[in-house]
Amino acid sequence: MPAETNMTRHQKLLGWLDEMAALCRPDQIVWIDGSDEQRDQLRAEAFATGELIELNQRKMPGCVYHRTARNDVARTENLTYICTTKKDDAGPTNNWMSPEEGYRRAGEIFKGSMKGRTMYVIPFSLGPIGSVFSKIGVELTDSIYVVLNMLIMVRCGQAVLDKLGSDGEFTRCLHGKAERDLNRRLILHFPEDNTIWSVGSGYGGNVLLSKKCMALRIASHQAHQEGWLAEHMLILGVEHPSGLIEYLAAAFPSACGKTNLAMLVPPEGMTRKGYRIWTVGDDIAWMRIDTDGALWGVNPETGFFGVAPGTNLKTNPNAIATVRRNTIFTNVLLREGKTVWWEGADGEPPARGSDWQGEPWHPDMVDENGKPIPGAHPNARFTAPISQCPSHSFRIEHHHGIPISAVIFGGRRARLAPLVYQAYSWQHGVFVGATMASERTAAQYGKLGEVRRDPMAMLPFCGYNMADYFRHWLQMGQRMTRPPKIFHVNWFRADEDGEFLWPGYGENLRALEWILDRCRGEADAVATPIGYVPTPESLDLTGLELPPEVVEELLRVDNHEWLKEADSIAEFFKKFDDRLPHALVDELDSLRRRLTGQ
């Protein structure tokens, strides 16, 4: 099947396409031009085959519904590999395979896997087309669902090929559903070849190759080589009552509320004060040092691929407004009358519907242990354009990005970390990010205090040796004359009974206000062994009615607990042997000294 087109004269692209088509043997090849007409045609085709279900167009214009296979509902980290010549270049936190083995093993699965199917060619740009931040990729896929998601998530089509010209660089992304068999599924990254191969899955995080695979794993490798940062961070703008808008980039592990924070709605009192939030991105930030010596960033994506369960008018009203139209819903509950529902949605559960597996469902159903059977999969998703978010920033398309005033790291720590604190320096901030962790709470999992370290929320996404990644962060700090200040937040501190002490959601803006005031040198703090912690008076808590002892507990630093934390960090650092930058060991020593008063 020749890859004929008048859309591009890029010989390397055409040659690669021929080669991949010879491997996968599709019946036909279709180029995605980015037009509405083509999108509508593909949608109609997917309705006809049952790959998609059209939702109620009167109530949910432009919305469609999709179910993935039962065994294919989340990212499969155990089948995700970094394929580098040297194992050490993937590092101790990644699965590794040699490039030869990767191409051979995945090649066997891809072989002939698109017979009877169509191969779609999706040219896409991460970042505004032509911006200094931006990178081009081309994804080949045999899934219309992938094409329709990509049309929302990234800039696609002819304009990208025009920018690529006849010899521009691009990331080669090959995806095939194959049999969607867990034993024949591989998500492979070849950073040395700027190539991604994903086979045997139809789940978003495994198959929208622009996202985790390219914008994080491959891009973090490129960023290391080229001197910038590709991070698992949201970006939001906080408009100060004076009209000044300042931007924050924040990293939290998956499913810790990045989307909610990115679209935060200020509580009433702060709206009255004049605060306003501008959403730039909810998942990925690409950041560079500009000529002013400061860090500037873009969100390389144009859509949200958010978790639906738990999203409602209280937790995230802007998300609810965003998904009212032109949205793809995956693995949520399908109601009679072709609308959707999920656990934690507004209103009463519907009396009946069909669940994420297509089975009849009603709210009283329980499993053999008497636990309620959910109608939506806990990782059910919505894919929706950022432009539909009521708080979307007017600077999303700016080619030079936006200046980042503060970088925030966060985890779920029921016991240890105060609501917010500031690192003493860039180097100390890198230590805070590198040792970030989430702790299971009694309410959730039963076993208190179990900790998973997730450095900078990049554990599953760093495409090279994480010790080198830490060094890169340290060096970035040395190259900036006006680096952002670094902070840590914890919305999840709990009392002895496991009850959260902090109300969270919109109220989190109170901590962001303190952070930005600190950046301007306008808020008080006390120097503690772990960093600068707010004085109770420096946080505006008007209207919250938190008892003083709760505020004290939220800001408390327990030296004894932190010394235990220091031991756990030392254990974690052993993973990296002598590749770990010495500056981080120095930071651990300094922390211990401050804790013991030496």
Nearer to Mn ion, 283 or 355 (CB): 283
Sign of CA dihedral 297, 301, 302, 308: negative
What is the size of the binding site for ligand OXD (CB under 6 A)? 5
The binding site for Mn ion (CB under 5 A) comprises 254, 283
> Measured from the CB of residue 387, what is the shortest distance to ligand OXD in angstroms?
19
Q: Is 256 a catalytic residue?
A: yes
Q: Do residues 142 and 120 touch, judged by C-beta distance below 8 A?
A: yes
Q: Cα separation of 389 and 281, whole Å?
A: 11
3 state SS of 475: helix
**In 3D, which of 487, 495, 518 has the Cα closest to residue 261?**
487
Catalytic member of 256, 389, 462, 519: 256
Helical H segments across 385-461, by residue range = 426-434, 442-445
Geometric angle at alpha carbon 317, from 208 and 278, rounded to 5°? 75
Q: Which of residues 63-82 bind ligand OXD (CB under 6 A)?
A: 75
Place of tokens 């999203």: 311
3 state SS of 499: coil
Sign of CA dihedral 505, 507, 511, 517: positive
> Measured from the CB of residue 212, what is the shortest distance to ligand OXD in angstroms?
7
Residue 301 tokens, joined: 């994506």
435 binds, among ligand OXD, Mn ion, none (CB under 5 to 8 A by kind): none
Nearer to ligand OXD, 205 or 401 (CB): 205
433 binds, among ligand OXD, Mn ion, none (CB under 5 to 8 A by kind): none
> Measured from the CB of residue 432, what is the shortest distance to ligand OXD in angstroms?
20
Nearer to ligand OXD, 127 or 303 (CB): 303
Contact between 422 and ligand OXD by CB under 6 A: the answer reads no
> Measured from the CB of residue 231, what is the shortest distance to ligand OXD in angstroms?
12
Helical H segments across 25-86, by residue range = 36-49
300 binds, among Mn ion, ligand OXD, none (CB under 5 to 8 A by kind): none
> Measured from the CB of residue 459, what is the shortest distance to Mn ion in angstroms?
11
297 binds, among ligand OXD, Mn ion, none (CB under 5 to 8 A by kind): none
> Measured from the CB of residue 350, what is the shortest distance to ligand OXD in angstroms?
26
Q: Cα separation of 305 and 152, whole Å?
A: 9
Nearer to ligand OXD, 254 or 405 (CB): 254
Please give the torsion angle defined by the CA atoms of residues 183, 175, 358 and 348, in that order, rounded to the nearest 10 degrees.
120
Separation in Å, CA 166 to CA 13, 285, 436: 9, 29, 44
> Measured from the CB of residue 125, what is the shortest distance to Mn ion in angstroms?
20
Q: Cα separation of 291 and 270, whole Å?
A: 34
Nearer to ligand OXD, 137 or 460 (CB): 460
Q: Which of residues 342-361 bind ligand OXD (CB under 6 A)?
A: none
Pattern of binders to ligand OXD over 246-275, x per CB under 6 A? --------x---------------------
The residue of the chain with the least Cβ separation from ligand OXD equals 254
Residue 191 tokens, joined: 């950073």
205 binds, among ligand OXD, Mn ion, none (CB under 5 to 8 A by kind): ligand OXD
Q: Cα separation of 28 and 142, whole Å?
A: 10
Instruction: Using CB under 6 A, pick the residue from 62, 205, 257, 483 that binds ligand OXD.
Output: 205
Nearer to ligand OXD, 303 or 375 (CB): 303
- The helix, strand and coil proportions of the chain, stated in percent and rounded to the nearest 5, come to 35, 25, 45
- Just list the catalytic residues: 256
Where do contacts with ligand OXD occur on this chain (CB under 6 A)?
Answer: 75, 205, 254, 283, 305
